[in-house]
């Protein structure tokens, strides 16, 4: 009987020992799982922060690339928006291995895409710089051509002005004087106003090889001592509204040679000529070509 009791006590002790061991093992395992869980959660948070940092760095690289272009590349803008969407989604996602791995895969795919897009963008920047350099060179050439053309135009204009000035015919050796007209037609110069029948105006159209030959005309103006315009005393108005009173129109055919011309002015209403100083002017249109004076006594 005593042996049975002793055997039961030993069995109970064994069972209690096993229970204690199981409890200790369970407690240790539970503690280990708890610590592992805390460590895993910390690692997941760190990994999540690293992925967020990488995505933000990627977004900054896109911002720089987009900012370097005056006209943003549509592919860069679209990729930048997808990255921002992924960042926003990752921030509110659960901290799990599966979730984080999914975001890492998306990040790696975006990284590969970014490498391609930025390489394309760098290539475009090089092409744009080359194009800008070419355009600048073309602009400089055009400016130089414009300066040359303007200079040539100025020279041509100056040359045309010189030629135009040089091609103008001139009246030289202008003189006026009174004459007595004989019945035979003979002319006798006189300085006596009372004996003067007509005033004779003579001048020479000078030789000019640059002038255009053909029919020409000058306006002759004779002004008496009382400041009256003798002869026709008609008016002609020019484009600049300048008005000229002339005594007669001297018409001639010019052939680029010296040409002597004489014209006559009669007194108004056959009255006698006044005593005093007379002025004779010859005009080519409204330009005074020559002027002279004489006196009748």
Residue spans of the domains in the chain: they are 13-126, 171-296
Compute the distance between CA of residue 108 and CA of residue 55 in angstroms, rounded to an integer. 10
Instruction: Please tell me the least confidently modeled range out of 144-148, 160-164, 206-210.
Output: 160-164
Comparing 163 with 108, the larger pLDDT belongs to 108
Looking at residue 176, its pLDDT comes to 96
Compute the distance between CA of residue 242 and CA of residue 234 in angstroms, rounded to an integer. 14
Comparing 101 with 280, the larger pLDDT belongs to 280
CATH fold label, 171-296: Immunoglobulin-like (2.60.40)
**pLDDT-above-90 percentage for the chain:** 36
Cβ contact 87:52 at 8 Å:
yes
Q: What pLDDT band is residue 34 in, cutting at 50, 70 and 90?
A: very low
- pTM of the predicted structure, to 2 decimals: 0.49
Q: What is the pLDDT of residues 180-211, one digit of tens each?
A: 999 888 999 999 999 999 999 999 999 988 88
Q: What is the pLDDT of residues 237-295, one digit of tens each?
A: 998 889 999 999 999 999 999 999 999 998 877 688 999 999 999 999 999 999 999 99
**% helix / strand / coil in the chain, to the nearest 5?**
55, 25, 20
* Mean pLDDT, residues 150-162 taken together: 57
Q: What is the pLDDT of residues 205-219, one digit of tens each?
A: 999 888 889 999 999
Compute the distance between CA of residue 89 and CA of residue 13 in angstroms, rounded to an integer. 58
Q: What pLDDT band is residue 165 in, cutting at 50, 70 and 90?
A: very low
Looking at residue 185, its pLDDT comes to 85
């Amino acid at each position: 009987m005593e042996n049975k009791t002793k055997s039961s006590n030993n069995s109970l002790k064994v069972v209690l020992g096993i229970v204690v061991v199981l409890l200790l093992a369970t407690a240790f395992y539970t503690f280990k799982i708890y610590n592992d869980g805390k460590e895993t959660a910390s690692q997941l948070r760190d990994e999540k922060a690293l992925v967020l940092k990488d995505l933000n760095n990627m977004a900054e690289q896109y911002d720089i690339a987009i900012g370097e272009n005056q006209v943003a590349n549509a592919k860069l803008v679209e990729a930048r928006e997808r990255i921002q969407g992924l960042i926003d989604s990752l921030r509110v996602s659960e901290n799990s291995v599966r979730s984080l791995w999914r975001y890492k895969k998306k990040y790696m795919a975006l990284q590969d895409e970014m490498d391609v897009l930025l390489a394309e963008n760098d290539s475009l920047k090089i092409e744009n710089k080359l194009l800008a350099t070419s355009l600048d060179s073309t602009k400089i050439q055009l400016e130089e051509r414009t300066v040359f053309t303007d200079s040539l135009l100025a020279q041509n204009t100056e040359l045309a002005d010189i030629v135009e000035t040089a091609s103008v015919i001139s009246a030289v050796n202008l003189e006026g004087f009174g004459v007595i007209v004989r019945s035979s037609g003979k002319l006798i110069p006189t300085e006596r106003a009372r004996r003067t029948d007509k005033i004779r105006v003579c001048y020479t159209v000078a030789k000019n090889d640059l002038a255009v030959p053909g029919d020409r005309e000058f306006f002759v103006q004779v002004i008496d001592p009382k400041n009256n315009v003798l002869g026709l005393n008609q008016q002609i108005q020019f484009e600049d509204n300048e008005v000229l009173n002339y005594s007669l129109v001297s018409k001639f055919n010019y052939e680029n040679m010296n040409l002597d011309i004489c014209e006559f002015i009669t007194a108004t209403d056959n009255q006698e000529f006044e005593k005093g100083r007379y002025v004779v002017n010859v005009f080519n249109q409204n330009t005074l070509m020559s002027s002279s004076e004489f006196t009748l006594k």
